[in-house]
Amino acid sequence: MAMLATFWIVLLVALNAPAGNGQSVQTDPSKSGFVGDTVELRCVFINGKPPVKISQVTWQKLINGTKQNVATANPALGVSVLPPFKDRVSFKHPAVRQRTPSSLEDTTIVFSNLRLSDEAAYICEYTTFPAGNRENMVNLTVFARPVTKMNLTSPTIVARTPKRKMPVATCMSANGKPPSVIKWDTTLKGEATFQETRNPNGTVTVRSNYIVLPSRETHRQKLTCIVTYRAERFTDSVILNVQYEPEVKIEGFDGNWYLNRQDVKLTCNADANPAVTVYQWKLLNGSLPNNIEIKNNTLFFKGPVTYEFGGTYVCDATNNIGTRSGLVEVNVTEFPNSPPFDGREIPLEEHSSGAAIGCAVGGVALLVAAIALLVFFLRRRQRTFKGDYSTKKHVFGNGYSKAGGVPAHPPMPKNLQYPDDSDDEKKPAQISGPDGFEGGDRDFDGNSEDLKRPYFTVDEGESRDYDERTLAFQYDPEPEIVDDMVSQTDGSVISKKEWYV
């Protein structure tokens, strides 16, 4: 009995003893592939010395803690692949694929046409004698490349009134694993919405809508969707097709329609999508003139312009979306406001020559004006007495004059000298005769005593305090009055000193 007990103890120790001499199973820590691809799961047995005998190799799929056989290679029983892997899994090494494998050191398997359901942990297990079982594990990850597409939410987008925001384009990355990232590239103002949906097979669908306010400005705008999936990038673009009512503008009136002008017209231009199908013209508060011809969107006015052409013209433009109007107020004048522009481009040479002529004419006009002002001020200075003539009376001769009478003018010598710059003062003064009428020229004696008498001025307000008949003044006669006095056109005589002040 003792000997039997010792035998079982030795056997149990041998069966449970760790692999000696370096027996091991080598696999890759992880492998990955895309759905539909082919991937290899490596498994190699490292035998030691003395070598152990390989009895069987089994590949198993670990699902939720449960092992499922995938493929088996046995030197005596052959190779077996179990459903659902039968048509997609095979051993890579030719020696293993034989009916009776001769070598099981390399039992790498090949997965083809990967499925999302293939993602799991796989165990490569070696059964040896007398070392027992040796195994290692590899994690298989299966990626799903998404299906990306972009499209308009509707083939035609209508800009309604009142205006409201609406999605105009959709970008979708469907059934991706892991999920994608979507971005928009456009100059069109708007906002994007994002939504992720997790599918039963483990993939994710990402959907994004771009929302704008449809209008005439959004028509023909480009939207680009950028989908980033792992290290890959996909782009797609659409052009918006926005339908809108006509935007109407009437052209042709240049603000210079005058009587008898020829060949005038008004054109109704409308920006619309779809195109305008009907144009209608009318004149507010009246009917269109008889001599008007309508061709498509243009009014042709026959004959010369008359006052009948004036008024407010309205053009109604209609497409499938709606009708919009434009108007223009036409005023007819008797004469042109300015030469009508004929549309001809003015050459640069004409611009230059016109500018030169204008500068020359302006310079001459400025010079003439300056000369005229100079002459005016010089003449005014020559004739201006330093003082106020309106508040003074002149007293000549000996200082006596009858009250209310005209003072006698002192005799003027023939050789009286005038300043050289006064042409008006060189004419002989006309002296009234005793009868009150202008007489002939009198001969004056240059040595006459009267010329030596000075003149005086008296304020009119002060003259009332004196005797009504006579005015007496004390003065000291100055010698050579003739040389120092200059006669004025109003009958007064002033000194040369005051003349040149």
For tokens 């997965």, the residue is 111
> What share of the chain has pLDDT > 90, as a percent?
53
Q: 6-15, 74-83, 142-151: which has the highest mean pLDDT? A: 142-151
Q: What is the structure's pLDDT at 294? A: 93
Relative to beta strand 89-91, strand 157-158 is: unpaired
What pLDDT shows up at residue 48? Answer: 77
Calculate the alpha carbon distances from 151 to 86, 148, 154, 167, 431 in Å. 41, 10, 8, 11, 112
pLDDT value at residue 493: 61
Label residue 165 by pLDDT band (50, 70, 90): very high
pLDDT above 90 for 32: yes
In angstroms, the CA 476 to CA 456 distance is 11
The 8-class DSSP code of residue 50 comes to S
pLDDT, average across residues 190-215: 96
Domains of the chain: 10-143 (2.60.40.10), 147-240 (2.60.40.10), 245-333 (2.60.40.10), 378-501 (no CATH)
- Please name which of 166, 157, 162 lies closest in space to residue 216, comparing C-alpha atoms: 157
> Could you tell me how many residues make up the chain?
501
Q: 3-class DSSP state for residue 221? A: coil
Q: Which residue has the higher pLDDT, 166 or 21?
A: 166
The 10s digit of each residue's pLDDT in 418-473 is: 444 444 444 444 434 444 434 444 444 444 444 444 434 444 444 444 344 334 34
Residues 6+ apart with CB under 8 A from 183: 225, 226, 228
141-150, 286-295, 371-380: the lowest-pLDDT one: 371-380
Lowest-confidence region among 121-130, 263-272, 429-438: 429-438
Task: Return d(Cα 421, Cα 261) in angstroms, integer.
Answer: 58
Spatial separation of the C-alpha atoms in residues 33 and 143, rounded to whole Å = 6
Return the pLDDT at 126: 95
Which helix (H) or strand (E) segment is 332 a member of?
strand 332-333
Q: Torsion angle, CA of 253/259/261/265, rounded to 10 degrees?
A: 30
Predicted local distance difference test score (pLDDT) of residue 427: 42
Cα 482 from chain centre: 85
CA dist 205 and 146 (Å) reads 8
pLDDT of residue 361: 54
> Which is higher by pLDDT, 246 or 351?
246
* pLDDT higher than 70, residue 49: yes
Strand order in the sheet with 78-81: 30-34, 132-143, 120-129, 53-63, 66-74, 78-81
* 3-state DSSP assignment of residue 449: helix
Tens digit of pLDDT for each residue in 56-82?
A: 999 999 988 899 999 999 988 899 999
Q: Give the confidence band of 360 by pLDDT, cuts at 50, 70, 90.
A: low
Least confident of 115-119, 155-159, 189-193, 260-264: 155-159
pLDDT of residue 160: 82
Work out the average pLDDT over 283-302.
Answer: 92
SS3 438: strand
CA–CA gap between residue 143 and residue 149 (Å, rounded): 19
